[in-house]
Amino acid sequence: MFYHVKELQFEAKPDRPDPLLAKKIQELIGGQYGEMTVSMQYLFQGWATRGNEKYRDLLLDIGTEEIGHVEMLATLVARLLDDAPVNMQEDAAKDPVIGAVMGGMNPQHAIVAGLGARPSDSVGNPWMGSYIIASGNLLADFRANLNAESQGRLQASRIFEMTDDRGVKDLLSVVIARDAYHQNQWAAAIAELEEKEGLLVPSTFQREKERTDIAYTLYNFSEGEESSQGRWANGPALDGQGEYKYVSKPEPEGAKPMLRPAPPKLHNTPPSDWK
């Protein structure tokens, strides 16, 4: 059961209307790494968690918090669109750089949403459920969550630097701080699971079933050998089960593929020796 409290957890009041900034904020709502994504990702991960109640509860705690972040940012967008005269976007577009990059406000804010936020990113792409990662393997999922919070905090920080609106900065400072905690939180949960399961996902796959002779090899498949200087190319593997090695000139094991012609009824291009 979800219970909605009408008051916002943190205030979402910009100092003045700004439809162009509202367009940017949409990325933090409906972008690939926006609050809609992390909210649904954590909730679906939590709903599918079996037999690990503390992780299930953690996921549902954070997923529900992220719903509140969507509401706060949606409220911010609506207020940025309040009383925003059309000439504001026209004046902004007179600057050739702003005009080229932004192209004015998001027309869907007015045409589709009636001066409200949309479940979409900053260029109008609709939010997609395919952004969500929920595999049933908590270590794999928590690593995806750490990435999502890293990208989300990066994007919020960039928008923070794009405005001098104190009210917007106040809310973004909240989002950035919470994304910082969530990075710490997922890193802690990952470390806890790695201590129990090891580095590799899935930990339950039997190693003897894989090609362990190539499981720790870096192949040089691009010009230059700078990558050979990394921790990943020499010394004990981080999973404690092998030694990293670097192969400068990889030799192929497989033969050149020679495919049989397709059946005539498929009407493919005939082989070069066809008569």
Q: Is residue 269 part of a domain?
A: no
Q: At what angle do helices 19-30 and 86-93 cross, to 10 degrees?
A: 90
Do 220 and 160 lie in one domain? The reply is no
Asked if pLDDT for residue 190 goes beyond 60, the answer is yes
39 marked ligand binding residue: no
Please give the pLDDT value at position 102.
44
147 is in an annotated binding site: no
What domain range includes position 59?
19-197
Please write the tens of the pLDDT for every residue from 117-129: 999 999 999 999 9
Give the pLDDT score at 274. Answer: 64
96 and 211: one domain?
A: no
What band does 100 get if pLDDT is binned at 50, 70 and 90? very low
Q: Is 220 annotated as a binding residue?
A: yes
| 69 carries a ligand binding annotation | yes
- CATH code: domain of residue 93: 1.20.1260.10
Lowest-confidence pick of 95-99, 179-183, 202-206, 237-241: 95-99
| Same-domain status, 40 and 71 | yes
Cis, peptide link before residue 119, omega less than 30° from 0: no
Kindly state whether residues 190 and 216 are assigned to the same domain. Answer: no
Rounded Cα distance between 177 and 171, Å, is 10
Do residues 140 and 232 share a domain? no
Q: How confident is the model at residue 101 (pLDDT cuts 50, 70, 90)?
A: very low
Q: Does 243 lie in the same domain as 117?
A: no
Is 27 within a domain? yes
Is 141 labelled a binding residue? no
The predicted-structure confidence for 15-46, as pLDDT tens digits, reads as follows 999 999 999 999 999 999 999 999 999 999 99
Is it the case that residue 196 has pLDDT exceeding 80? yes
Whether residues 35 and 137 share a domain: the answer is yes
Residue with tokens 């702003």: 98
For residue 93, pLDDT beyond 80: no
**Residue 154 included in any domain:** yes
Please indicate, yes or no, if residue 252 is contained in any of the structural domains.
Answer: no
**Domain end call among 197, 222, 256:** 197
pLDDT exceeding 90 applies to what percent of the chain? 81
Co-location of 70 and 170 in the same domain: yes
d(CA 73, CA 100): 26
Is 101 domain-assigned?
yes
The predicted pLDDT at position 89 comes to 52
Q: Is the pLDDT of residue 51 over 50?
A: yes
Residue 224 annotated as part of some ligand binding site: yes
Q: What are phi and psi of 120, to 5 degrees?
A: -150, 170
Interatomic CA distance for residues 135 and 32, integer angstroms: 18
Q: Which residue bears the tokens 């921790």?
A: 231
Indicate whether 145 belongs to any domain.
yes
Please tell me the total count of domains within the chain.
2
Q: Is 225 annotated in some ligand binding site?
A: no
Angle at 109 between CA 105 and CA 113, to 5 degrees: 175
Indicate if 119 and 211 belong to the same structural domain: no
